[in-house]
Structure 1
Amino acid sequence: MSLPWATRGLHRRSPRQRLATPTTELGTLRLQLCSPRSRTVKPDRRQKRTIVGTPTNSLAGRIATMTARDEILAALPSIEGRSSDDTFSPQDVIDELRRRGSSYAESTIRTHVVSRMCADAADHHVRVYDDLERVSDGRYRRR
């Protein structure tokens, strides 16, 4: 029976080493995987992208982390400006983020709009937000 690489060798570690793997940072849980052979720590960065801005003021030179939710929320005012009733479809959001040069996959953006950020959707994710409401089939509005 083969165990995943993250759990192999746990019996050889002390209890302190086994408990030191999960960490919390700024109120959000960030899991860190530790390879038993190399003892290197690899942070989990699946939902974050790092953006480096040009230094135009004191804060712009720093590295900022933009999540998919942050990028969607930043794009909503321009999407709503093109609509007569302030509603939009997931495809409208995907098109706007592609225009802005987002590196997130279409499936990630669509999942955020229809599930994670929608107050009317079922809670199928660990972290959900109530940023959007479903107006009709495939149409959403910011709350």
Structure 2
Amino acid sequence: MTCRDEILETVNALVKDRTPKTFHISEVVSTMRANKTKYPVSTIRAHISSVMCQSAPKPFERRTYPDFKRVARGRYRLL
């Protein structure tokens, strides 16, 4: 399972009963660490804030995905 897959699985479980579908980056990190993820915290944070965020500045050589939108500092919405 890729880091992105694991993050999406975690976020979907976290926001399942929430309206709007928002979460804090620290919730994802702590849940993934509790589930014994193999990914370092820095990788998880980078994926959420950059690789998987449609509102993040896009680096020119990296593939990005429109999975989340930043709604506040450290808080994102599942798209």
Unaligned runs of 5+ in 1: 1-65
TM-score by length of 2: 0.87
In the alignment, the residues of structure 2 paired with residue 136 and residue 119 of structure 1 have an alpha-carbon distance, to the nearest angstrom, of 14
In the alignment, the residues of structure 1 paired with residue 20 and residue 65 of structure 2 have an alpha-carbon distance, to the nearest angstrom, of 23
Residue aligning to 2:69: 133
Higher helix content, 1 or 2: 2
In the alignment, the residues of structure 1 paired with residue 21 and residue 64 of structure 2 have an alpha-carbon distance, to the nearest angstrom, of 22
Poorly superposed stretches of 4+, deviation over 6 Å = none
Residue 112 (structure 1) aligned with residue 47 (structure 2): yes
Unaligned runs of 5+ in 2: none
Amino acid at match of 2:72: S
Q: State which of 34, 55, 60 in structure 2 corresponds to 1:99.
A: 34
Larger radius of gyration: 1
- Report the RMSD for the aligned CA atoms in angstroms: 1.6
> What's the % identity of the aligned pairs?
38
Higher strand content, 1 or 2: 1
TM-score by length of 1: 0.50
Deviation at 1:84, TM superposition (A): 5.6
